[in-house]
């Protein structure tokens, strides 16, 4: 049995199979996921688990070199944007319209659905290298 880090077998599998510049996404309970994109549904109830709880757990094992966020988070959810920046200091951020972020989910290894109920709590993580 695994002792540390991600204990969800599906998420652990996806992280272990990522290579440089691959994408993994995490988002709120309402984010539409394109057909064909693997969805790992962790939502149990409103805010359980939260977006930040899941992001922080994934970051224990995934090296991230860049993140993608919706432009709308700046005005519609600045507190969450600040949380993300604190969790990923010195990581490049690229903003795009929310409609483009939704379309980009089709390029991710998987989408991890949380119980988050705040607007624009969605992120695409681009994996880096550890050497």
Q: Is residue 122 part of an annotated ligand binding site? A: yes
pLDDT band for position 11 (50/70/90)?
very high
To the question of whether residue 98 is assigned a binding role by annotation, the answer is yes
Average pLDDT in the 63-92 region?
A: 98
**Cα distance between residue 62 and residue 126, in whole Å:** 9
Span 92-127, pLDDT tens digits: 999 999 999 999 999 999 999 999 999 999 999 999
Residue 120 assigned as binding residue: yes
| 20 a catalytic residue | yes
Q: Is the pLDDT of residue 89 over 90?
A: yes
Tell me the mean pLDDT in the region 45-63: 97
Q: Is the model's pLDDT at 57 over the cut of 90?
A: yes
pLDDT band at 3 (very low <50, low <70, confident <90, very high): confident
Report the C-alpha gap between 118 and 77 in whole angstroms.
7
Domains recognised in the chain with CATH numbers:
9-127 (3.40.1650.10)
Q: Which of 16, 20, 78, 93 is catalytic?
A: 20
Distance from C-alpha of 121 to C-alpha of 50, rounded to nearest angstrom? 10
Q: Is a pLDDT exceeding 90 seen at residue 63?
A: yes
Given pLDDT bands bounded at 50, 70 and 90, which one contains residue 47? very high
When pLDDT is cut at 50, 70 and 90, the band that residue 2 belongs to is confident
Band of pLDDT at residue 1, cut at 50, 70 and 90: confident
Q: Quick one: CA torsion of 93, 65, 67, 83, rounded to 10 degrees? A: -80
């Amino acid at each position: 049995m695994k002792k540390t880090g991600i204990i969800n077998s599906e998420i652990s599998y996806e992280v272990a199979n990522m290579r440089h510049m691959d994408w993994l996404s995490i988002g709120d309970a309402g984010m539409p996921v394109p057909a064909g994109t693997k969805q790992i549904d962790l939502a149990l109830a409103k805010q359980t688990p939260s977006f930040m709880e899941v992001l922080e757990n994934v970051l224990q094992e995934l090296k991230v070199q860049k993140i993608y966020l919706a432009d709308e988070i700046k005005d519609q959810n600045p507190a969450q944007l600040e949380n993300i920046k604190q969790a990923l200091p010195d990581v490049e951020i690229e903003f795009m319209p929310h409609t483009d972020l939704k379309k980009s989910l089709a390029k991710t290894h998987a989408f991890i659905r949380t119980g988050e109920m705040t607007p624009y709590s969605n992120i695409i993580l681009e994996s880096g290298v550890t050497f």
